[in-house]
Amino acid sequence: MGLIGETVDSGKSRQLRQALTQAVNLCIMFISLLIFWKALMCFTGTESPVSVVISGSMEPALRRGDMLFLHMSKEPIRVGEIVVFNVDGEEILIVHRVIEVHEREGTGEVDILTKGDNNSRDDTPLYAPGQWLQQHHIIGRVVGFFPYICCLGQHYHDRESNC
């Protein structure tokens, strides 16, 4: 009876060690991903180095499901650049093209007007009344994209997807 009891205890001990090893490996993987993400944020200069197109407003240049790679530098925003921005009071990020940039005299600050390539109007209705975007609204400039990479996930959530 002693041999059987030792074998059962040994099996329980082995299972506990395996569970602890898996938990430690999971923690190491999570911490590694977090370090990678933080390093990517530092390298790209943006809090969101990767974004996904969720609407058709930028077609045909960008389509729903495209994964965007962002970078933010100190260089001024230029007309024609595709930027990802956030509007005050809204959580969703918007991907549109810059169509006008106006520099304020004496301050060096800029007012930025954007528009989706597939939209008939500019984005002024999205902004606060009487205002355009400021530099602090810009999350990043689109420097590259991977087409349709996130389309499967969107199709799962949106059965009417064109992906």
Which of the residues are catalytic? Answer: 57, 96, 123
Question: Sign of torsion, CA 58 60 66 69?
Answer: negative
CB 147, CB 66: distance < 8 Å:
yes
- For the stretch 69-103, what's the b/e string if a residue is b when 16 or more beta carbons lie within 10 angstroms of its beta carbon? bbebeeeebeeebbbbbbbeeeeebbbbbbeebee
Residue 80 φ/ψ region, left for φ over 0, alpha for ψ in the -120 to 50 degree band, beta for the rest: left
Q: How far is residue 91 CA from its own chain's centroid?
A: 12
